[in-house]
Amino acid sequence: MSIASSENCLFYLDERGGILVTGSFGNKQIADKDASQSKRFKHMHVYFKDKNNNELPQFNFISASSKHAIAIDVTGQAWVIGSLKHGVGGFESANKFSFTPIAIPMSPFHHAKVLLTACGTDHSLVLTTFGLYSCGSNNFGQTGMTVLVLLSTNSTNIC
C-alpha cells in the first residue's frame, strides 16, 4: 500500500494494487463531479482499467504533485495520471491531461526498472535501477540542469 497527497487531492493504493483518488487535480475534478462530494473518501474513484477498458496492473507505489501523479506497478513500469504538459513523464504527449493512468515509455530511462518517483508541479524525478532521471519543466533549474535551459521535455540522467 502507498499514499500520496497534493494540494487538492489524495491518492491511495489499496491492498489489491488499485489506485483510489479523490478531490481535484490540476484544477480538474477527478472523483465525483459535485465538488462538495468529491472531498469525501467514500466517493473515491478507483482505477482498475485504462481509458481503453484494459485491465491495469497492480500498483505498489505512488507520488503526487498538484498537477500529476506517477504510480509504479509491481513490474517496475511507471504510469502517469493528470497533466502531461512539459514532459513530466519523460515523453511528449498530444494529450495534455489524462484522467486514467498512461504507461510511460521506458526508453527515456534506458528501459530500466523504476524504483521510486517524486513529483513536482511541472517536473518529476524517477529513480531506476540504471540511475536517477529528471524530466519536465526546468524554469528554475529543478531538473538539475542549468537554468539557461528553459524547458526540458526529455528525461535527463543526473546521477
Using DSSP's 3-state secondary structure scheme, residue 7 falls into: coil
Highest mean pLDDT among 39-53, 82-96, 106-120: 106-120
Give the phi and the psi of residue 75 in degrees, each rounded to 5.
-95, -5
Separation of alpha carbons 121 and 118, rounded Å:
10
Q: Is the pLDDT of residue 73 over 90?
A: yes
| Span 41-50, average pLDDT | 57
Range of the domain at 34: 2-157
pLDDT tens per residue across span 123-150: 888 889 988 888 888 776 666 654 333 3
- Confidence band of 77 (pLDDT split at 50, 70, 90): very high
Using DSSP's 3-state secondary structure scheme, residue 93 falls into: coil
Separation of alpha carbons 43 and 100, rounded Å:
17
Amino acid letter for position 47: Y
pLDDT tens per residue across span 91-119: 777 678 887 888 888 877 778 899 999 99
Q: Which residues pair with 12 in a beta bridge?
A: 3, 20
Count of other CB atoms within 10 angstroms of residue 55: 7
The CATH number of the domain holding residue 138 is: 2.130.10.30
Question: What is the tally of structural domains in the chain?
Answer: 1
